Amino acid sequence: MVDPLRIQRSLRRITDDVQVLQREASAEQVRRQDAMWLPGVKYSFVTMIESCVDVAQHLCSTSGWGPPADNGDAMRLLSVHGVLDADLAASMRRAVGFRNVLVHEYADVDNAIVIARLADLDPIRQFVAQTARALTEE
């Protein structure tokens, strides 16, 4: 059975991370030169996307839609079952791949890509909105 409170808490955490990253997107150069700025941004991306994965996996497992082959597949299953639209599910699969690169290839990540991703937080906002809407429709 879906735990709506668990999902709501996760969506709140995701929204909080989006707000942090949105603020960092406009950080001045002096702030960006701080040795902890970029690692903090990367960590926020990881926790934000991981929370999205947690939501997807919870919905898949408690709704009997799985098991997904992997975290990206969990996003696909959300689309198959009407939680996310197909384009957003594809974007979220790419976000999961980005999270995997951040976690598993940390030293080799192109920092310019990380910084560019700060300007593209809309898929995460849409994930929150579409997931919340699907929960209220149940």
Give residue 50's pLDDT: 98
pLDDT in tens, 31-88: 999 999 999 999 999 999 999 999 999 999 999 998 999 999 999 999 999 999 999 9
DSSP state at residue 107: G
Give residue 72's pLDDT: 97
- Cβ atoms of 127 and 50 closer than 8 Å: no
Rounded Cα–Cα distance for residues 93 and 71 (Å):
8
Q: Domain spans of the chain?
A: 4-137
Coil, helix or strand at residue 77: helix
To the nearest whole number, what is the mean pLDDT of the chain?
Answer: 95
* Bond prior to 67 in cis (omega within 30° of 0): yes
138 pLDDT band, cuts 50/70/90, is low
- Assign domain 4-137 to a CATH class: mainly alpha
